[in-house]
Amino acid sequence: MPQQVLTDTVRVAIHSPDAIVRAGLVSYLQSDRRTREVPPDKIREADVIVVAVDVAGASSLDLLSSLCDKPEARFAMVVGKQWQADVSAAIDRGVRAVLWRDSFSPATFIQTLLTITEGGGSLPTTLQGTLMEQVRWTQREVLSPRGLTASGVSPREVDVLRLVAEGEELCDIATKLSYSERTVKYILYGLMKRLHLRNRAHAVSYAIRTGLI
C-alpha cells in the first residue's frame, strides 16, 4: 500500500546556538508527520521559524530580522531563562508564540506551530498580562487623546463603516448618527486617505478583515 503524502505539512526552520536544544526540537518535528524541518539556507520558505534563546532581549529581536526579513515571517520563540524584551516590539517583529523551554511537551510544541500556521498565537500568561498593560497605556496616553482606538480607527469611523457595510446611503447614515451628510463624507474620506483605501467597498473589506465590524 503506497504511503500517504501530506500536502499541508508545516515547514519549520529552527535556529538555536545550543546544539542539544536544536536536536531536541528537530526530534519533535520528526516525530509528527504534520511538520517537517527546512534547512537554514531555505529559511525564507518556512511557515514558522523557531528561535531558541536563553534570555530574550532586544538583541534577540534584532536576531529575528537578520534570520528572515520577510514582513510576513512568523516566529515561535523558545526561551530558556528570562524574557526581557518589549512584548509589543516582539509581536511587531513577527513573534506569534513564546514557549518556556523547560515547561512544554512535544505535543504542545507541535500544536503551537499548527496554531501559528492557522493565523493564531500563544503567549504565556505573564506576557499576556504585560501586553495588555502596554495596550492599555497606549490607548489611554496616546490614542484616546487623539480620538483613536488601538486599531487606529476612531469610534465614529467604526460607526460609519458599520452602516456602510449594512448598505445604508450616506444621507441615512447622517440621520442615524445625527451628523450632516457632509460630515459623513468627510469621515469616510479621512479614513480612506489615512489607511490608503481605494473606495467604500475597500474600506468595508478592510474593516471586516481586521475585525472592526
DSSP string, 71-100: TT--EEEEEEEEE-S-HHHHHHTTEEEEEE
pLDDT for 106: 92
Give the chain's domains with CATH numbers: 10-124 (3.40.50.2300), 144-209 (1.10.10.10)
Name the residue among 164, 165, 151 with its Cα closest to residue 195.
151
CA angle at 172 for the pair 167 and 174, rounded to the nearest 5°: 120
13: β partners: 49
Cell numbers describing residue 4? 500517504
Task: Look up residue 151 and give its DSSP letter.
Answer: T
At residue 2 the predicted structure's pLDDT band, cuts being 50, 70 and 90, is very low
pLDDT for 86: 87
- Do 112 and 30 form a contact (C-beta atoms < 8 A)? no
pLDDT for 3: 40
| pLDDT digit string, tens, across residues 97-133 | 999 988 889 999 999 999 999 889 999 888 888 878 8
Name the residue among 173, 149, 162 with its Cα closest to residue 208.
162
pTM: 0.67
